[in-house]
Amino acid sequence: MTPSWCCSPRARPGRAVSGKDLGDVSDIRRFLSAFHEPHAGLIQAAQQLLCDEQAPQRQRLLADLLHNVSQNIAAETRAEDPPWFEGLESRFQSKSGYLRYSCESRIRSYLREVSSYPSMVGAEAQEEFLRVLDSMCQKLRSVQYNGSYFDRGAKGGSRLCTPEGWFSCQGPFDMDSCLSRHSINPYSNRESRILFGTWNLDHIIEKKRAIIPTLVEAIKGQDGREVDWEYFYGLLFTSENLKLVHVVCHKKTTHKLSCDPNRIYKRQTRLKRKQPVRKRQ
């Protein structure tokens, strides 16, 4: 049976909500709240329908409904939501703590890749490469390997999600946004946590094809100039050059983008020549 507010002229879009519309608004609110805070009867009915349903499309809809109503987004600790932590080591006692660790692990893996390149710069430049690498390591340690990107409790400017933990796909490297509007909340349930592991932090300017080779060549040919390691740090490890993308939006093709040649070396400040002091006659 179709609810009366679905067909009501007062519910049509394009009209301002008046006092007469309040009944319709409250009906919608009650409808939405049924999914936000579902009653046990709703879940039981959906489970029974799923058991009896044969049509694949309806099975998918019912499965999605049950998946969404099983969320426990607000819970944060292991004690509040034990199922979320199934399969994780006992040292993880909070959702934010685990997701920070997850992000840190990704950033550390990028650092390990850079660390494997000293032998490629030659014996003469190895010392400089290690100096640059050490500067990057110190910077990463000071910001805890940017683990705040996945931490919903972090400050707004340092996380990639809402305070509730919702992440939105930022779209392929060559687009400004995600046309499919992919989103996920890994804080909601165990299945979403696992699925979030398939999302990628994609380098817009590619790490292996562009950033690291350019860094290597910059160190080998610096000729008295100072490599701007902070520029390369930003490209390798920060959201300046990283996009969070759904696996479907992670294009594996060559990006064909290069580093900015004007930012590879630090600008040298020219010293002003002192004017000779004129002798008084």
| Residue 274, both tokens | 């002192």
Structural domain span for residue 49: 40-70
**Residue of 201, 194, 188 lying closest to 160 (CA atoms):** 201
Instruction: Give the three-class secondary structure for 121.
Output: coil
Q: Are 183 and 239 found together in one domain? A: yes
Name 265's bridge partners: 227
Write down the pLDDT at residue 118: 80
Write down the pLDDT at residue 98: 98
Write down the pLDDT at residue 53: 64
Write down the pLDDT at residue 72: 87
Please check whether residue 257 lies inside any domain of the structure: no
**Residue of 180, 177, 173 lying closest to 203 (CA atoms):** 173
**Residue of 243, 235, 176 lying closest to 209 (CA atoms):** 235
Spatial distance between the Cα atoms of 108 and 140, rounded to a whole number of angstroms:
9
**Over its length of 281 residues, how does the chain's per-residue pLDDT go in tens digits?**
333 333 333 333 344 444 444 344 445 445 445 555 555 566 566 666 657 666 776 666 666 665 565 578 999 999 999 999 999 999 999 999 999 999 999 999 999 999 988 877 778 788 999 999 999 999 999 999 999 999 999 998 899 999 999 999 999 999 999 999 999 999 999 999 999 999 999 999 999 999 999 999 999 998 889 999 999 999 999 999 999 999 999 999 999 999 999 999 998 765 555 555 555 55
Q: Are 206 and 158 found together in one domain? A: yes
DSSP letter assigned to residue 154: S
Q: Are 128 and 176 found together in one domain? A: yes
Three-state DSSP string of 71-140: CCCCCCECCCCHHHHCCCCCCCCEHHHHHHHHHHHHHHHHHHHHHCCHHHCCHHHHHHHHHHHHHHHHHH
Structural domain total, the chain: 2
Spatial distance between the Cα atoms of 51 and 38, rounded to a whole number of angstroms:
19
**Residue of 163, 136, 162, 133 lying closest to 238 (CA atoms):** 136
The distance of Cα 279 from the centroid of its chain, to the nearest Å, equals: 67
Q: Are 50 and 164 found together in one domain? A: no
Please check whether residue 85 lies inside any domain of the structure: no
Helix (H), strand (E) at residue 167: strand 167-168
Write down the pLDDT at residue 8: 36
Question: Exposed, middle or buried, 180 (CB in 10 Å: 0-12/13-18/19+)?
Answer: exposed
**Residue of 204, 121, 210, 126 lying closest to 170 (CA atoms):** 204
